[in-house]
Amino acid sequence: MKSLFRKIIFGDAAIREYATITIGDKIREKVYLKIGATTKDISQSHWLLCLDPIVFGTWIENSEGTSLIDENGEYKMYFTNPADDTDENIKANIVADLTLDIFDKIIEKEGVLLLLKLRKSRIYHISFIKAHLLFLKYYKKPQLSFTKLKFFASAYSYPRRVRVISFKQNDYYNIFPMDLLGDIRHHNKYVFGLRHTNITLSKIVESKKIVVSEISYEYKGIIYKLGSHHSTNTPPVEQLPFKVIKSKNFGFYIPEWVDSYKEINIVKTINLGSHMLLWGEVLDECLLKSSIEHLYHIHYLLYLYQKRKHLEYSLV
């Protein structure tokens, strides 16, 4: 009966919380931030950094004026299907709109990393009735209310790229994937949101060093097995199911199949809630090879929306 219900209401797609996709060209979706009367395209300059509460980081260039920042103001964030930057087209293509408050900020000479905490959200991926049915049948659990489902669906209404983190200190090492991170490439800055339950976090904070690698979707199976390293001790490096190389300056273990890696010095930390923000400066970058298609996460509700519009990315 449950499978029949699923097929009638949601079609043949397997029900899951998140969809794992690959993107070959570029991300089609857009994200806009409205501060007062100003609306900015922040698609390439915003990142999800904490899940409880939901906190986003968005980079604002000094050339745009930090006067845009309103300490006591209300911020609106819009996640849209492909659209141009006119207010009319943004509104016509919204899949989620969020209301946020300022949480904190990091001021640099090049600009400001603005940290915004989600207060409420509305989603338009599927009808309200279907969303409730999906929640009641598949998602409802003690730690996940319908409000939280909406929060997560909103936050993952833009593809979040998966990267691999490496760390080493004396005989200890860890390699694990994460998607709560982002780079400000033209200023050699990097931001991470690491869960407090990650057993390596305290060591990273102490040493102030981390390495992040770009990876191809083809290694999805191996990457997800590395996910257990968030909370468990890693095996001897010789027992890993792949060979490693050492990063140029830190000597951290890097899977031999990564596309590239960056060695980063951590210069600031902020407790966001369930996650710790790490703000870093890129020391060095090494390009090993180049892949076109990377691994991303989106919420399942966004996948349903894309499928209905015949805009879905390739599942992997």
Task: Please give the structure tokens belonging to residue 161.
Answer: 């790229």
Give which of 160, 154, 175, 157 is closest to 252, Cα–Cα. Answer: 175
Q: Is 44 helix (H, G, I), strand (E, B) or coil?
A: coil
What is the tens place of the pLDDT at every residue in 33-42?
998 888 899 9
Binned at pLDDT 50, 70 and 90, residue 66 comes out as low
Instruction: Report the phi/psi class of residue 308: left, alpha or beta, with left for phi > 0 and alpha for psi in -120 to 50.
Output: alpha
In angstroms, the CA 19 to CA 39 distance is 29
Cβ atoms of residues 292 and 218 within 8 Å: no
pLDDT at residue 140, as a whole number = 77
- Residue 276: pLDDT band with limits 50, 70, 90: very high
Query: How does pLDDT run across 221-257, given as a tens digit for each residue?
Result: 999 998 887 777 788 999 999 999 999 999 999 999 9
Question: Helices (H), strands (E): how many in the chain?
Answer: 7, 20
Nearest to residue 51, comparing CAs of 199, 230, 194, 160?
194
> Residues, the chain, total?
316
The model's pLDDT over 80-104, given as tens digits with 9 standing for 90+, comes to 987 666 666 777 789 999 999 999 9
| Tokens, residue 7 | 């097929």
Question: What pLDDT does 24 receive?
Answer: 78
The HSE-up count of residue 133 (CA atoms within 13 Å, CB side) is 12
The model carries a pTM of 0.92
Q: Which helix (H) or strand (E) holds 260?
A: strand 260-271
Contact 122, 76 (CB under 8 A): no
Using CA atoms, how far apart are residues 162 and 159, in angstroms rounded to an integer?
9
13-17, 27-31, 92-96, 238-242: lowest mean pLDDT where? 13-17
What is the model's pLDDT at position 1? Answer: 47
**What structural domains does the chain harbor?**
29-158 (2.30.110.10), 160-295 (2.30.110.10)
Q: Cα(213)–Cα(151) distance, rounded to whole angstroms?
A: 28
Residue 9 has pLDDT above 60, yes or no: no
